[in-house]
């Protein structure tokens, strides 16, 4: 694996390898890397969970994070994103983590640098590390994907999370359904649409999405109460879910909009577990990139795993 940019062309084997690696890291940990490495965290969009979990994941691996703030960088002097990335490469970064509102920007940078690039969210494109932590959470719950029914509910048209998850879940053998207000559907995604009421009654996982107000260009606006009652997860709908069914949400959560406030931390919710799993999923991706690219020897991690199993 040279970069981690998309879930489009990743095989079932590779996805499962990353999931199991993340699960093993959560269970056993890994020894910090005894070699000075730096990660350039280029976040051009606001972020709490993704940025902080990457930072913690890097520190747990022994990688020094290089923080970046666009408003105090040479971007303000006219420097391009490309030259910013090349600068981080030139001063010694061992990998780049890029989050930006422009689709495919991480792919474009990856084609012109010699170090691994991780897509931490690109506009309405994809969010592959969020997808991986979602998959890890599902795997820990069900220990399988084949035959599971998953509904992704909400602002499908503007959601990079929906795209990455739909692609990966289908690759893993799950049945993917979408549910959305009519004007936020995306016909480019070839999955069946169902109502939120059908979703709660038939699916094993209901994955809710935040309304992406920052990506809307006019169009229909919904009041909070109307959206929740028509398209969101209310308490009444939650009570009709299968006994074993769980609730996911990539966060940040708009309480009382896509999900009733009291359901965010209910017994079905795995929302904060997803956040916890984000650290381990991102550790697994960075570990795999470093070893596959020959920056770190695989034996370094195998030694720790051997010690942990004694």
Distance CA 158, CA 179 (A): 13
Contacts of 250 (CB under 8 A, 6+ apart): 127, 130, 134, 161, 207, 209, 210, 274
Options 3.30.70.270, 3.40.50.300, 3.40.50.1370, 3.90.850.10; CATH for 128-273 is 3.40.50.1370
pTM to 2 decimal places: 0.92
Per the annotation, does 3 bind a ligand? no
Per the annotation, does 59 bind a ligand? no
Kindly indicate the confidence band of residue 310, based on its pLDDT and cuts at 50, 70 and 90.
very low
Nearest-5° angle of CA 157, CA 249, CA 117?
70
Taking only the tens place, the pLDDT of each residue in 27-82 is 999 888 989 999 999 999 889 999 999 999 999 999 999 988 767 677 777 778 99
User: What's the pLDDT score for residue 309?
Assistant: 43
Task: Render 10-48 in DSSP notation, one character per residue.
Answer: --HHHHHHHHHHHHHHHHH--PPPSS--EEEEEE-S--S
In this predicted model, which residue has the larger pLDDT, 223 or 278? Answer: 278
Per the annotation, does 76 bind a ligand? no
Nearest Cα neighbor of 40 from 121, 122, 130, 116 is 116
For residue 209, count other CB atoms closer than 10 A to its CB. Answer: 23
Count of positions (residues) in the chain = 310
User: What's the pLDDT score for residue 74?
Assistant: 77
Run of H or E residues at 117: strand 117-122
CA 218 to chain centre: 27
Taking only the tens place, the pLDDT of each residue in 164-197 is 999 999 999 999 999 999 989 998 899 999 999 9
Run of H or E residues at 64: strand 64-66
For residue 81, count other CB atoms closer than 10 A to its CB. Answer: 17
Task: Determine what percent of the chain is predicted with pLDDT higher than 90.
Answer: 80
User: What's the pLDDT score for residue 72?
Assistant: 61
Nearest Cα neighbor of 178 from 164, 167, 189 is 189
Per the annotation, does 130 bind a ligand? yes
Distance CA 121, CA 141 (A): 25
Q: What is the C-alpha R_g of the chain?
A: 20
User: What's the pLDDT score for residue 69?
Assistant: 74
Find out if CATH 3.40.50.1370 is the number for domain 3-126+278-299.
Answer: yes
Query: Taking the alpha carbons of 111, 116, 121, 127 in that order, is the dihedral positive or negative?
Result: positive
User: What's the pLDDT score for residue 268?
Assistant: 98
Nearest Cα neighbor of 49 from 281, 288, 262, 214 is 281
User: What's the pLDDT score for residue 77?
Assistant: 75
Residue reference for tokens 């969009």: 45
Per the annotation, does 8 bind a ligand? no
User: What's the pLDDT score for residue 2?
Assistant: 96
Average pLDDT of the chain, as a whole number: 92
Taking only the tens place, the pLDDT of each residue in 15-24 is 999 999 999 9
Per the annotation, does 77 bind a ligand? yes
Per the annotation, does 144 bind a ligand? no
Q: Domain residues of the chain, as ranges? A: 3-126+278-299, 128-273
Per the annotation, does 160 bind a ligand? yes
Distance CA 42, CA 75 (A): 12
Taking only the tens place, the pLDDT of each residue in 104-145 is 999 999 999 999 999 999 999 999 999 999 999 999 999 999
């Amino acid at each position: 694996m040279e970069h981690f940019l998309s879930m489009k062309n990743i095989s079932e084997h590779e996805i499962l390898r990353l999931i199991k690696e993340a699960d093993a890291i959560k269970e056993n940990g890994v020894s910090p890397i005894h070699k000075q490495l730096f990660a350039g965290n280029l976040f051009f969009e606001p972020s709490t969970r993704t940025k902080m979990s990457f930072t913690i994941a890097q520190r747990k691996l022994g990688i020094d994070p290089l923080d970046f703030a666009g408003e105090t960088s040479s971007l303000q002097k006219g420097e391009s994103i490309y030259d910013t990335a090349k600068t981080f490469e030139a001063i010694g970064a061992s990998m780049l983590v890029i989050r930006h509102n422009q689709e495919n920007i991480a792919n474009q940078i990856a084609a012109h640098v010699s170090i691994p690039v991780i897509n931490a969210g690109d506009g309405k494109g994809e969010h592959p590390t969020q997808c991986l932590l979602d998959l890890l959470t599902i795997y820990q719950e069900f220990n399988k994907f084949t035959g599971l029914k998953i509904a992704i509910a909400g602002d499908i048209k503007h959601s990079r999370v929906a795209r990455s998850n739909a692609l990966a879940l289908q690759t893993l053998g799950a049945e993917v359904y979408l549910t959305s207000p009519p004007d936020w559907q995306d016909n480019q995604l070839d999955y069946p649409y169902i109502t939120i009421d059908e979703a709660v009654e038939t699916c094993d996982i209901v994955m809710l999405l935040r309304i992406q107000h920052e990506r809307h260009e006019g169009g229909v606006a919904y009041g909070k109460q109307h959206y929740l009652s028509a398209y969101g997860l209310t308490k009444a709908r939650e009570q009709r879910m299968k006994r074993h069914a769980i609730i996911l949400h990539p966060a940040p959560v708009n309480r009382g909009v896509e999900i009733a406030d009291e359901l965010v931390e209910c017994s079905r919710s795995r929302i904060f577990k997803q956040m916890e799993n984000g650290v381990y999923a991102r550790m697994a991706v960075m570990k795999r990139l470093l070893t596959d690219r020959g920056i770190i020897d695989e034996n370094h991690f195998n030694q720790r795993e051997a010690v942990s199993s004694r």
